[in-house]
Structure 1
């Protein structure tokens, strides 16, 4: 195992959470995956399992790995505040990627590669770390029952009374050179299937993933930033996706939102951008009782309002989001516009707030810039 310190890499090496497949492969084995960028996820996935509509999800089994698929992640974001009202964000992500299809091989020959990202954000600072592991040696894995996801000492694990339908309660821990956190996550509602009953389309050409979320977490615990501990509480969101070919070859990146709306409604929304300038918008509106409906009505839009320049990249960090059929017209603002994840495959990700027809908090991820 080696831990990578933050570095600024060229745009040609920009991979992200959902473009992890090519990236982890490059670090583990070297070779053409590094040069493929997002194209690594747009190539055909011969030999791997395919995503098709109508899957019957089963828990706790589907909380665990799906090694027959090429790409997978367990991803948590948390919008937090302390007793003084100061706000923070925390992120924890574990990625799995299969280097080749086929039955699992034991030990160092195992074809699974794991990568972890963790971050803490405040209005004035953004701290992050990443780590890598090979499968088959116990350094990283996910066990569905009792639930535990880990890479090195970073963990997302079920606590006493864990309910597989709610994915709760959980303990979330991670630490880097100058930050750390330990949070408890509780939820009063079952998890939510995204897309069409868990089948999440990424293009009109068949690319898709299996996708579910737990957007109803209540979080409480402690952050440590530059040696200073702070007790925090707030809301958190878990995303789970797996696929073998989630992008088309001409898709260059996405802009992804997870929003906590008034009255405990939730919105997941993302725009996938294409090389020819066209885009596809997908999402789900989630009611307070956990019912999930795809965003299908026309006239929906997300448009940049403000640009932040980081290391030569121009990033749209403030947005206008409009869903006429839902009566939603909001403008988003980042807690910290410089929330750049300068990992080996860099991207922007951080907490946001929004106002307009609805007011609330959430997270934003920007890839491919």
Structure 2
């Protein structure tokens, strides 16, 4: 997502900082840069890292099918976190890196993660030419000269029981969320810079214990950075990206709070890339069927309503047991959408205990 940074809990565990809000994302941002209205996002520079901000990620999800029509979901994420506002070098560098990868089928869910300290070459991101990596996991630009560097990518990751190697080509523009890329996350004004490339077509291979599969489909890349994206009272979120069969797309999230109503936000994306942003309360996200997942009660079915677009749909998990067994565990997996529109996409849910 956007708001999806789980990395800071790793920071808190390693540095002994007291958590505020979910995973400490409401922690005071003193000394770090913070998102401000009026800043124009600049490309390709903003495809790269922003070390003066505390947290950042490059987040890819994909809905795929094999040659027999079986469904697969795929996730590749690289998180960056700054331990302190000063830079440092080598092992003293202030940047830490964490990566997550996952593959989901209708019957199985596989996940793994990796960690690195910045400054030693094991992990990092460069804007020009674009490349993001940790160990041998890679997200690398294949774009032709003159095109946006995220318009074509190759992505690779592997874990103990899976691997994938895919190529992505974008057929539409980058999308800015919120107010020209400033995405507000709470009534008290916490925010992040947030943009996406939601127009990828995908081809490639996935290797699982059951065999090697040739797959194709659609993918969505999120880019987001901030220093205090959540209010201290917020406890977790429910985030969705959806590709509808008519070419329209939707990003929406609901941030849950201990003491107030959930805060919502959405971006409607037309087939040609034109966007409409919807602020708090416009998108209605109502949890439905609940399943017991990893010892937690998790809603794996949702009703989404966006009256301004005559949208009333039910979103269902392809595999309700899509639990990421990572240092900070969470639910992440592919979904289908039925109702006033049909489609598919990805759902992420955090903070369920």
TM more than 0.5: yes
Q: Match of 1:20?
A: 7
Q: Match of 1:94?
A: 78
CA contact (8 A) 1:264 1:288 kept: yes
CA distance in 2, matches of 1:362, 1:338: 16
Q: Match of 2:187?
A: 204
CA distance in 1, matches of 2:9, 2:281: 34
Q: Match of 2:327?
A: 344
Q: Match of 1:290?
A: 273
Determine if the alignment matches structure 1 residue 68 to structure 2 residue 52: yes
Q: Match of 1:13?
A: none
Output one character per residue of 1:116-168: Cα deviation in whole Å (capped at 9) or x when no partner: 00000000000010000000000000010111000011000001516653612
Deviation at 1:37, TM superposition (A): 6.4
Which SS does the other structure have where 1:108 is aligned? helix
**Structure 1 residues 37 and 224, CA, compared in 2 at 3 Å: closer, same or farther?**
farther
- Does 246-255 or 303-312 show the bigger shift? 303-312
CA contact (8 A) 1:19 1:37 kept: no
**Structure 1 residues 364 and 89, CA, compared in 2 at 3 Å: closer, same or farther?**
same
Q: Match of 1:250?
A: 233
Question: What RMSD over aligned residues (CA atoms) do the two structures have, in Å?
Answer: 1.6
Gaps in structure 2 of 5+ consecutive residues:
none
Which SS does the other structure have where 1:264 is aligned? coil
Output one character per residue of 1:333-365: Cα deviation in whole Å (capped at 9) or x when no partner: 111000000101000000000100000000000
Deviation at 1:228, TM superposition (A): 1.0
Determine if the alignment matches structure 1 residue 368 to structure 2 residue 351: yes
Deviation at 1:279, TM superposition (A): 0.7
Determine if the alignment matches structure 1 residue 172 to structure 2 residue 155: yes
Which SS does the other structure have where 1:368 is aligned? coil
Q: Match of 2:103?
A: 120
TM-score, L = length of structure 1? 0.91
Which SS does the other structure have where 2:91 is aligned? helix
In the alignment, which of 133, 138, 152 is matched to residue 155 of structure 1?
Answer: 138
Deviation at 1:300, TM superposition (A): 3.3
Which SS does the other structure have where 1:212 is aligned? strand
Which SS does the other structure have where 2:9 is aligned? helix
**Structure 1 residues 76 and 186, CA, compared in 2 at 3 Å: closer, same or farther?**
same
Deviation at 1:115, TM superposition (A): 0.1
Which SS does the other structure have where 2:7 is aligned? helix
Which SS does the other structure have where 1:42 is aligned? coil
Deviation at 1:292, TM superposition (A): 1.4
- Does 39-48 or 288-297 show the bigger shift? 288-297
In the alignment, which of 225, 228, 250 is matched to residue 267 of structure 1?
Answer: 250
CA distance in 1, matches of 2:260, 2:325: 26
CA distance in 1, matches of 2:126, 2:10: 24
In the alignment, which of 301, 314, 317 is matched to residue 331 of structure 1?
Answer: 314
In the alignment, which of 28, 33, 54 is matched to residue 49 of structure 1?
Answer: 33
Gaps in structure 1 of 5+ consecutive residues:
1-15
Determine if the alignment matches structure 1 residue 241 to structure 2 residue 228: no
CA distance in 2, matches of 1:83, 1:163: 34
Which SS does the other structure have where 1:21 is aligned? helix
Figure out how many residues of one structure are paired with residues of the other and give that number: 350
Q: Match of 1:9?
A: none
**Structure 1 residues 24 and 297, CA, compared in 2 at 3 Å: closer, same or farther?**
closer
CA distance in 1, matches of 2:146, 2:152: 7
Q: Match of 1:8?
A: none
Deviation at 1:311, TM superposition (A): 2.6
Q: Match of 2:43?
A: 59
